[in-house]
Amino acid sequence: MHLQEYAPPKTIDPVKARTRLDGALAVLPEVLGIDPSNVFLKQRKRGKGGERYGKLAEHGRFHQVSEGPARFWVNFTEHLDTGLFLDHRPLRAAIRQQAKGKSFLNLFCYTASATVHAALGGAVSSTSVDMSRTYLDWARRNFLLNGVDDSRHELVQADALVWMKASTARYDLVLLDPPTFSSSKRMEGVLDVQRDHVALIEDALKCTAAGGTLLFSTNYQGFKLDADALAHLSVEDISAQMLPEDFKRRPKIHRVWRIRPTT
């Protein structure tokens, strides 16, 4: 169990806040039927610089979790994100279900959990691109855990924006899940999903085989798709089907579109 508490504001009596948390910790293992040693508590605090949350450093411990036929390494203590975005479970399942016999491209792959599902669903080959060495190492460990053959499923460390433009390969199924914003020494310029999504989608379509499918997803809550600029494509909003039951109270957690060239 991964439990997160938003740090109580200063106006709340700290003893009262602690008592409330202790009360939750006392009953949760019993209610969920899990061993108290498998409860991981993380406190979310505002770090310097407004909206960002500080990282809570504890002992680095990786744990295995399962999701359908897949298993993943997650980290409940060192990173704010565990290595597995839970809101994308239906999207990963959909990818697994349609991957048989296909080639798969995972752009901004993070820990490559979607690629693991594609491989388990019978994808013949794949390429997963991310800029971060840390996440690609994590992805490799996820491949090992699931017996994913890395001679057919490659992990590429690159700026996905540059990689898409340079690649001549075509994939049957493409996942484009860019971060809301990204800037780094390793990349040229700054990525802003709202400003750049039309170009991103067009570049990703250049990597999509004739008759193939592009799945475009964003977690940016204020996102507006530029339908006019994409009017020459077949664009289907599949967000409702991709929302898991446990996120139904936050339907804006992400949006997902299925995009195909019309010709």
Nearer of residues 126 and 182 to ligand SAM, judged by Cβ? 182
Can you say whether residue 144 is alpha, beta or left, with left for phi > 0 and alpha for psi between -120 and 50 degrees?
Answer: alpha
* The one among 159, 164, 173, 212 contacting ligand SAM by CB under 6 A: 159
Structure tokens at 232: 């020459």
Structure tokens at 102: 């296909």
Nearer of residues 129 and 205 to ligand SAM, judged by Cβ? 129
| CB of 209 closer than 8 Å to CB of 170 | yes
Report which secondary-structure segment, H or E, holds 201.
helix 193-206
Min. distance of Cβ 207 from ligand SAM in angstroms? 14
* 132 makes contact with ligand SAM (CB under 6 A): yes
C-alpha dihedral sign at 106, 183, 2, 215: negative
Nearer of residues 183 and 234 to ligand SAM, judged by Cβ? 183
* The one among 135, 171, 216, 257 contacting ligand SAM by CB under 6 A: 135
Would you give the binding string for ligand SAM spanning residues 160-179, x where CB under 6 A is met? Answer: xx---------------x-x
Min. distance of Cβ 182 from ligand SAM in angstroms? 3
Nearer of residues 219 and 239 to ligand SAM, judged by Cβ? 219
User: How far from the centroid of its chain's Cα atoms is residue 52's Cα?
Assistant: 18
Would you give the binding string for ligand SAM spanning residues 204-243, x where CB under 6 A is met? Answer: ---------------x------------------------
Nearer of residues 124 and 157 to ligand SAM, judged by Cβ? 157
Gap between the Cα atoms of 171 and 211, Å rounded: 10
* Strand pairing class (62-67; 40-44): unpaired
Gap between the Cα atoms of 263 and 258, Å rounded: 15
Q: Interface residues for ligand SAM in 90-129 (CB under 6 A)?
A: 108, 110, 129
* Strand pairing class (171-176; 103-107): parallel
Can you say whether residue 68 is alpha, beta or left, with left for phi > 0 and alpha for psi between -120 and 50 degrees?
Answer: left
Q: Interface residues for ligand SAM in 21-80 (CB under 6 A)?
A: none
Query: Closest Cα to residue 63, out of 84, 42, 92?
Result: 84
Stretch of 16-24, 114-122, 156-164, 231-239 lying at the interface with ligand SAM (CB under 6 A): 156-164
Number of Cβ atoms within 10 Å of the Cβ of 247:
17
Nearer of residues 73 and 135 to ligand SAM, judged by Cβ? 135
Could you tell me how many residues of this chain bind ligand SAM (CB under 6 A)? 18
Q: Interface residues for ligand SAM in 175-204 (CB under 6 A)?
A: 177, 179-180, 182, 187, 191
Gap between the Cα atoms of 6 and 45, Å rounded: 6
Strand partners, 182: 191
Binding site for ligand SAM (CB under 6 A): 85, 108, 110, 129-132, 135, 159-161, 177, 179-180, 182, 187, 191, 219
